[in-house]
Amino acid sequence: MNDRIEIAIDAHVADVKLNRPDKLNALDVRMFEALGEAADRVASDRSIRAVVLRGAGGNFCAGIDLSVLADSELDFGEALKTCIEPSAANVFQRAAYAWRELPIPVICAIEGVAFGAGMQIALGADIRYAAVDAKFSIMEAKWGIIPDMGISTTLRHLVAPDRVKELSWSARILGSNEALALGLITAVEDDPIGASREFAINCAEKSPDAIRGIKSLVNRAWQMSEKDSLAFEAHLQFGIIGAENQVEAVNANLSKRRPEFKD
């Protein structure tokens, strides 16, 4: 993984930081690659139970670096069709969608701007806490392209289709209060990084089996028929109930002590 992303791990929480502050963390090719690699690293470490995803320098991400669009050596046809298992997302989509694929909670802390690709990366997270003065935009139409980093999957259950079209066609900039009202973000916080870490630690202190199961349930069952979703609920619960971590959760609560879960 290159220096575009920094990862620090503490108390079972990975702090993943987009690290290009002089460019407002805009995404060049190396940043696209590093985001996917960072998600892979987190996925490979079972001791990590939650992620805080944020940007350096007081901004989350200003979107795609225009050098990418002007790169004559980049084969867009190849990049757009490259499939990465298990999602079949291409290299650009995976920078955002990889966070949705992770089996653990991903909490995005948004300061400054989340424009274009930055907005789509944030949408790949499970929870989005934004600063009062943060700004958002689905800005791709300004540059003559469509939003194509997994937004067709991450936004479909958050915002009504007419609103998505209006935001995407206009490429307008909106503030945190409107973003909250539309469902683009989860909450407005005075300290979004602190709030994200507090929530991540809260998740990390619970049974990792239950936390992973809840993410799988919501991400998958919401796409299923009622019959299939009920069956999937039962399937997940059968694998959790009575297992070591579930028993530990019960015993720790009854004993009023801190639980000790297995990763």
Number of Cα atoms under 13 Å in the Cβ half of residue 194:
4
Domain end (from 187, 203, 219): 203
Average pLDDT over residues 135-163: 95
| Full domain range(s) for residue 75 | 5-203
Predicted pLDDT of residue 29? 87
Tell me: pLDDT of 79 over 80. Answer: no
* Mean pLDDT, range 78-104, rounded to an integer: 76
CATH of the domain at 136: 3.90.226.10
pLDDT band at 72 (very low <50, low <70, confident <90, very high): very low
Mean pLDDT across the stretch 234-240?
96
Q: What is the CATH number of the domain that holds 230?
A: 1.10.12.10
Number of domains in the chain: 2
Query: Is 168 found in the same domain as 86?
Result: yes
Residue that finishes a domain, picked among 169, 188, 203:
203
pLDDT at 83: 52
Q: What is the pTM of this model?
A: 0.92
